[in-house]
């Protein structure tokens, strides 16, 4: 991961293992007190650019880290009273995923589920888009979304899917203490089995002049409606 927000958020996360940090000399001198406890290598801007690719804003710092993605839904820290989970189905763009993570954390949601087969692994692009919030949310990758939904239902979660043909209103979400929100891709939406597993389908009312919202924008609207912040 690269950039000050992402790297320093990782430094502050006790669950994150940082293998090495590369930084420019001026960056090291500016943040010496924060960086001294890690394996640091002072390098040139060309070195960082070669590591992450050209035209990537790195702010003079790059960290090699171990992934904090979990491999089992049961490793998430569920609560017995009020709880919220986000499930992303067929969203593959790291920028969208990072933006959704940022919005989720902004509204007090700390758990997110991704499928192993149709979602990227943890990456610098996700961390950069999440702007430090990747370290503040638990993310589990599951082999089967339908099975994950069944697990959530056993834990007394209600399942709400975002759907263009949905009949339920956003205002109905806040009354549920434990709810999982499923967001599909802008083009394909949720997969059929995922849709069929939902307890209800919700639709965001928008102008007829606009076909649909970007997934991350839609997510922000839904998260705000949960009134959990």
pLDDT in tens, 52-68: 887 788 989 999 999 99
219 close to 84: Cβ distance less than 8 angstroms? no
Q: What is the dotted CATH code of the domain comprising 73-225?
A: 3.40.1280.10
Range 128-139 burial, b when 16+ CB lie within 10 A, else e: bbbbbbbbbbbb
Please tell me the distance from the alpha carbon of residue 55 to that of residue 113, in angstroms, as a whole number: 31
pLDDT at 188 over 90: no
Per-residue pLDDT tens digits for 135-177: 999 999 999 999 999 999 999 999 999 988 888 878 878 788 9
Both tokens of 104, joined, read 């989720």
Range in 1-15, 87-101, 105-119, 203-217 the model is least confident about: 203-217
51 close to 146: Cβ distance less than 8 angstroms? no
| CA-based end-to-end distance of the chain | 28
What pLDDT score was predicted for residue 228? 53
Pick from 10, 137, 2, 156: nearest CA to 76: 137
Spell out the domain ranges in the chain.
Answer: 4-65, 73-225
């Amino acid at each position: 991961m690269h950039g000050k927000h992402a790297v320093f958020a990782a430094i502050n996360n006790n669950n994150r293992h940082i293998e090495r940090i590369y930084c420019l000399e001026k960056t090291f001198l500016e943040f010496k007190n924060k960086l001294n406890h890690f394996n640091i290598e002072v390098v040139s801007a060309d070195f960082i650019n070669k590591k992450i690719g050209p035209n990537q804003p790195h702010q003079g710092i790059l960290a090699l880290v171990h992934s904090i993605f979990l491999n089992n839904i049961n490793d998430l820290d569920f609560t017995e009273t009020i709880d919220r989970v986000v499930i992303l189905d067929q969203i593959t763009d790291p920028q969208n995923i990072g933006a959704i993570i940022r919005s989720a954390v902004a509204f007090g949601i700390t758990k997110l589920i991704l499928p192993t087969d149709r979602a990227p692994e943890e990456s610098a692009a996700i961390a950069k888009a999440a702007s430090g919030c990747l370290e503040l949310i638990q993310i589990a990758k599951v082999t089967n979304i339908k099975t994950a939904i069944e697990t959530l239902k056993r834990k007394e979660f209600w399942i709400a899917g975002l759907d263009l043909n949905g009949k339920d209103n956003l205002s109905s979400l806040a009354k549920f203490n434990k709810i999982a929100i499923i967001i599909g891709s802008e083009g394909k939406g949720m997969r059929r089995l995922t849709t069929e597993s939902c307890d209800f389908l919700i639709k965001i009312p928008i102008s007829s002049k606009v076909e649909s919202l970007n997934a991350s924008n839609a997510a922000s609207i839904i998260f705000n409606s949960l009134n959990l912040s």
